[in-house]
Structure 1
């Protein structure tokens, strides 16, 4: 697990859950059961989607270099253990 995906998990969870609730309500499924299913599905998919987004951001960023060593600033090194 990388650090960026931890931050993205909260945002993607909210977006996915909200989207699933909107789809369920627009299809005419009103009540607690469809909303709970939407919340469970959004919760289950939030980390895998956030991880995929994180990998894509890092792959497309020209300034990202995982092999860079000997940093002295406060930003964690990309090669360090995540959590």
Structure 2
């Protein structure tokens, strides 16, 4: 699971939706239809764009090590772990 992409989803959705609305209004397309199109574009594109941004951040970071994430103990026990 990529938790960074979940956090980035909110930001990318706002940027995509807001940027689309500004673009539509700049070209003189007013009304509920351009706002609906912008909201739909924001909903459909926010997670894939956030996932791509997350991958790029992790690829460019020299300190990122995905094996460290697995060594950190989780507060939720694994289902196949023995009973204590």
Structure 2 length as normaliser, TM-score?
0.79
Deviation at 1:42, TM superposition (A): 1.1
SS of the residue 1:29 aligns to? coil
CA distance in 2 between partners of 1:15 and 1:54 (Å): 16
Relative to 1, partners in 2 of residues 1:41 and 1:70: Cα closer, same or farther, differing over 3 Å? closer
Cα drift, residue 43 of structure 1: 1.1
Note the residue ranges of structure 1 that are not aligned, 5 or more in a row.
75-83
Alignment partner, residue 38 of structure 2: 38
TM superposition score normalised by structure 1: 0.80
Find the structure with the greater CA-based Rg: 2
Count of residue correspondences: 74
Which 5+ residue runs of structure 2 have no aligned equivalent? 76-84
2:10 matched residue in structure 1: 10
Q: Cα RMSD between the aligned structures?
A: 1.8
Kindly report structure 1 stretches of 4+ aligned residues shifted beyond 4 Å: none
* Equivalences for residues 41-52 of structure 1 within 5 A: 41-52=41-52
Q: Deviation of residue 72 (structure 1)?
A: 5.4
